[in-house]
Structure 1
Amino acid sequence: MHTYQRRSRRWPALAELKAAVLALRVNPSIPYSGMIEQFNMIEVALARAKRERASAENRSIAIASLPHEILSQIFEILRHEDSEWIGGPGIAPSIRVSHVSATWRDIALSTASLWTAIYSSPSHDDTFYHTMINRSQESLLECTIRVEPSQDQTSAAMLAALVPSNAHRLRVLRIIAPMWFIDGCVATLRELSAPRMSQLLLHITNYNPQSGPLLSRQRIFMGGTPKLVQYDATGFDFRMIRPPLADVKILNVTSYASDTLRDALLDVALTVHALGIIIVPDTLAIFPPIQMSSLVSLELLTEPFEIITFLGMIEAPELKSLKLSVPRRSRSTSYGSVVGKFSKLLSLQMEGMLESGILIAFPTLERLRVSDMHSRPTHLGDVFDLSQDSFSTLTPRLIHITAPTRFKESIEAFCTARQSLGLSVPLFDALEDI
């Protein structure tokens, strides 16, 4: 591309001014009235070019003149631009400030919040972690320790060793690692107090219930976690590692045994608002109903039999949102035992290997979402079958359906049949197929 063309695209008003001047020069024989018209065009183009230049100068304000708050925000944006929530180091911890202007450096080093998110990485050594902690001053820390099988664990162990001495500053602690690594951390966490920690995530990447329990069965943070509102314990038997749960409002666990699950639910029955459970098939036995008076959102990933069994064992009068994930086909089941049990349920999301009879169980639904399960497409089965039992009274309040485009035909037929029966006709929003 020629230089003139590049400049024209960058400075269109200036290019317009040049064109107007050139037009005057190459047409000396035009009448006086024509010249007046061209002079007017030049004046207009000149005014536009001046505004364009002024705008460019405003965009080029020196960094040194920007307020501290704006510079801090720029660093924050750069820091989180490419990072993932669960441990991707991204740009964040490695922002270098030695090679930039004194203003940028001073801002970066004096903004404690820039240095509070600490992620383990094979490229980080003990000096790096101490530098991050020192720069964060007394701000609350977000600490993510992740151990990959193919990577050296030395750096992760260094960061884990710093947790006890900084427990009073923890806001978030995440450990995603093999069983042996987390089991080694448990002993150091046992007596700790984390008075300001609001979120704890433990995920064992290689747990096998058939290979025996963890080396230790114990509680952690026995010194207290009065602000802990979210606990995620996935990939292992929940009974192995237990923090205080009295104030937890968000709980996500994997259930390998009914007694473990029941104990956890009893601990959080009065406080939990959002509950997510992965139930291992053929491990759920019936236990007495549990009153969960604050539960508003529930997510279950398991097979239909376990879904129905679990729903039958909780009393959740305030439940408004339910997500059901069914990873594989199983024996035919009936949802009849839970029909109308959750009188305030408004939203249902379904994914996986679905079957008929699900909608019958939830007559108060207003919003339905059908989504694909990770990289596996959802199979609807007979969910929208027009001949299913009680179709004429099915979800009378339903006003919205969201689903992949490939289900459009069956959903439109479903809506047409509802209209002919005088039922509400839901709005359909199509999702992209995977």
Structure 2
Amino acid sequence: MDFAFDARTEELRARLLAFMDEHVYPAEQVAHEQRARLSSPWENPPVVEELKAEARRQGLWNLFLPDAEYGAGLTNLQYAPLAEITGRSPQLAPTATNCAAPDTGNMEVLAQFGDERQKKQWLEPLLAGEIRSAFAMTEPDVASSDATNITTHIRREGDEYVITGRKWYISGAMHPDCKIFIVMGKTDPDGPDIRRQQSMVLVPRDTPGVTVKRAMQVFGYEDHYHGGHAEVVFDEARVPVSNLIGEEGGGFAIAQARLGPGRIHHCMRLIGMAERAIELMCRRAVSREAFGKALAQQGVVQNWIADARVAVEQLRLLVLKTAWMMDTVGNRGAHTEIQAIKIATPRTVVGILDRAIQLHGAGGVSQDFPLAELYAGARTLMLADGPDEVHQRSLARREIKKYL
């Protein structure tokens, strides 16, 4: 077996690692200080725009898109180690390289299912990093872990769709540059096939009847860099029928196509978060002393660090295998592996971050280190893109089916 990355991946890894060292890590504190002086907490600090310009100049832009017409044309296996690197600074690096959710998934949807007008109007400015977007699926009044529960109504009146519903945790919606929502709702709520009741439509943020009511916190964080997570109300919001993505009844299938790559991208970045945690653990362990010797000489600390290294190496191999399968047999063929990494990666990384926080003592829960915010992000991914239990249920059924 050959575990080496190909030449293009190695070249991009070297450039991206240098970009992180020379530009991203030094910008973390700068961004924090600049944000405190902004008139709106949702604006990008000036240093973020500088990072985006530099990443684009270096060709580290839209790395996530496998379609060479729109992105870097990388396979999942080639992109995996690059996404891992950006995960080491998840607040800055994905945005700097135009590889941040939810824009990545929305660009994939538009590239795969959008018509030429939709691509011209919305995909092109997203690819250029000129605007941001949001994906409106989750609802507060139903168990959104089952997408067939979605209650937002999309009814057709002549040449228009009329959207009525309430969404929340709509990532990116608070950002002032968010110009477009991809909204999932039911066009045929009484249809016999529950997976053909839903459709997706493009709804400009400034459409009358669209109200961004408030920012939702995540463990007390507002996640400014990703444009927040908003509660959004659609009250008889009207858009042209031409804003339909794909076909009526195709919303569920589009959502599944969108979420497959999204899940593995999250897992790739989570491994980078774990690597950042291990680095911080080691630096802390060799710089602090307790009970007459360095923390690095304490047996329990050594165990934490060793266990973290073993876990990360296991996760990385599973994620790379999944990426390879997605490239070779498609997302459907890699269904079990995608679910496996979605279950294993967040919970394992949460454990590593928990130990890193413990090792840092009071500093671990403070704003002086990134660990608390990384923990909040990793723990949230045990819910986002389908909670663990949904993936466990589906994966177990698939395993049991072999014996029936």
Higher relative contact order (CA 8 A, sep 6+): 2
TM-score category, normalised to shorter length: under 0.3
Q: TM-score, normalised by structure 1?
A: 0.21
Give 1 or 2: higher helix fraction: 2
Larger radius of gyration, structure 1 or 2? 1
Q: TM-score, normalised by structure 2?
A: 0.23
